[in-house]
Structure 1
Amino acid sequence: MAGKGVEVVLIAPLPFMSSPQIASISWGRMKVQDCATTYKDCKVWPGGSRTWDWRETGTDHYPGVQAADLEEVIAKGVQTLVIGRGMSEALQVPSRTLEYLKNKGVEVKVLQTEEAVRAYNVLASRGARVGGVFHSTC
């Protein structure tokens, strides 16, 4: 009885996608490197960005950033997440959101938005698997 050959398929790992730099930030306007869209609030991750639409999860300044706001970014495999709380830090980050990130093994930096953008860009320039959510007004 003749044996059947076994086909071996090698799957190459996915290429590492770098996190895009935040090219500019001002009140109500953010630009992400190599992206034609201007954002008010945005999410960024290795390989991409999009509008952070608070209506999707019912987010408001208080109680603030929810785990549901972060799931999409976390799913991209980030090791560090930077949260920009707004220019006047009006956006809250509740302890349950920080606990969610801790349980996922994700380091978090919560900062005023301009400081958050600077910290994010430094990490991105070093090739870190960094993501962020940024509020560009209050």
Structure 2
Amino acid sequence: MGSPETSVSWGTMRVGSQTYKDCKVWPGGSRTWDWRETGTNHHPGVQPADLEEVIKKGVKTLVIGRGMTESLQVPAATINYLKDQGVDPVVLQTEKAVKEYNSMASQGLNVGGVFHSTC
């Protein structure tokens, strides 16, 4: 299965027929990204534990949307974790991240994403 098309507006992520505030997407699926599961906050930001589920789906590239104003941090340790897992990280402002993710998905690439839809 391919990675589902995704769209964003402030506070809303749409993945196929599903609507989320923040979300995780992978080939064939998606779900809400609940920061409380891993204690994530804007600082220090995205933790490896936030990404494990998507990586286990076998993605080769993971796109991280840092929020509309890029308030969500992505520490070097998280980038290093992705690289150690053989996953190429792409970190962008969320609107740009969604555009890049959709471009990769439309090319049939094995791509996943985690997206923050506000700040």
> Same-fold call, TM > 0.5?
yes
Offset, 1:129: 0.3
Offset, 1:38: 1.2
Q: How does 1:119-130 map onto structure 2 within 5 Å?
A: 119-130=100-111
Offset, 1:30: 1.0
Match of 1:73 in 2: 54
Match of 1:115 in 2: 96
Percent of aligned pairs with the same residue?
72
- For structure 1, the residue ranges without an aligned partner over 5 or more in a row are 1-16
Q: TM-score, normalised by structure 2?
A: 0.98
Match of 2:5 in 1: 21
Match of 1:30 in 2: 13
Offset, 1:75: 0.1
Q: Secondary structure at the match of 2:62?
A: strand
- For structure 2, the residue ranges without an aligned partner over 5 or more in a row are none
Q: Secondary structure at the match of 1:43?
A: strand
Q: Secondary structure at the match of 1:69?
A: helix
Distance 2:13 2:79 in 1: 25
Offset, 1:67: 0.2
Offset, 1:112: 0.1
Number of residue pairs aligned between Structure 1 and Structure 2: 119
Letter in 2 for 1:28: G
Alignment partner of 1:134 is 2:118: no
Alignment equivalent of 1:52, drawn from 33, 39, 62: 33
Which gives a bigger RCO, structure 1 or 2 (Cα 8 Å, sep 6+)?
2
Distance 1:18 1:25 in 2: 19
Offset, 1:120: 0.0
Distance 2:69 2:87 in 1: 25
Who wins on radius of gyration, i.e. which is larger? Answer: 1
After the TM superposition, list the runs of 4 or more consecutive aligned residues in structure 1 that deviate by more than 6 angstroms: none
| RMSD across aligned positions (CA) | 0.6
Letter in 1 for 2:49: A
Alignment partner of 1:86 is 2:70: no
Distance 2:2 2:8 in 1: 20
